[in-house]
A and B are shown apart, each in its own frame.
Chain A
């Protein structure tokens, strides 16, 4: 996914993992990995998968925007 705004949070990656409202946060005001919860009983990405996934999105955004 390429956006107008550069991805900046692991949530930008999480929405690409699978569709629907499969994840949420125990504290929505503090969206850190430790507060990530899974609603649908599916697998929870590791923290590394989240940070790597975000990095990939950012790299794609940079490429698409002449970075």
Chain B
């Protein structure tokens, strides 16, 4: 017997995704329009402990950043355009100075009270053994952003001797952060 009609609603249990004819999903799926990805990078090198990294951020402007519902940045403080689950990734490129065998620390900091206070949400260490040493640190944190007016993110970097360098670039990604909206909260 050939099937001319499948009664999906009665054959399945639980919520059934709803589409409106193929042009846009309406419910039950991760809605494409709600996804977002935004890359920001630092454009000028600097040395030493920096809490937070406040200056010289730019939105990635080469080869397509994929901005959709982008972040807002002010003096190194990032705010979210919408609630939801957001994956924050920080990649920082470091180089050493004259100190031997020093640690270099990168943090993702989160505020849930509008920037009144920040807590470490992710950290990563690397080790540099003097000048001419290079290392990259990458850390991530998924955030359940429930209130865009109160969630803030910033980044800090420090080292054992306060002499590490952060390497940057304005034409390619060297030290940068990616904000990716994964879905609804």
Contact = CB atoms under 8 A, between A and B. Distances in A.
Tell me if chain B binds chain A: yes
A51 interface: no
Interface string A39-58: 10000000000000000000
Tell me if B's interface is mostly helix, strand, loop or mixed: loop
Interface in B64-103: 95, 97-98
A65 to B, nearest CB: 10
Interface in B10-67: 43-50, 53-56, 58
Contacts of A22: 46
Q: What is the interface residue range for chain B against chain A?
A: 20 to 34
A16 B134 CA distance: 17
A25 B134 contact: no
A25 B53 CA distance: 16
Interface residues of A, number: 20
A39 B55 CA distance: 8
B66 to A, nearest CB: 20
A28 B58 contact: yes
Interface of A: 1-4, 11-12, 14-16, 19-25, 28-29, 31, 39
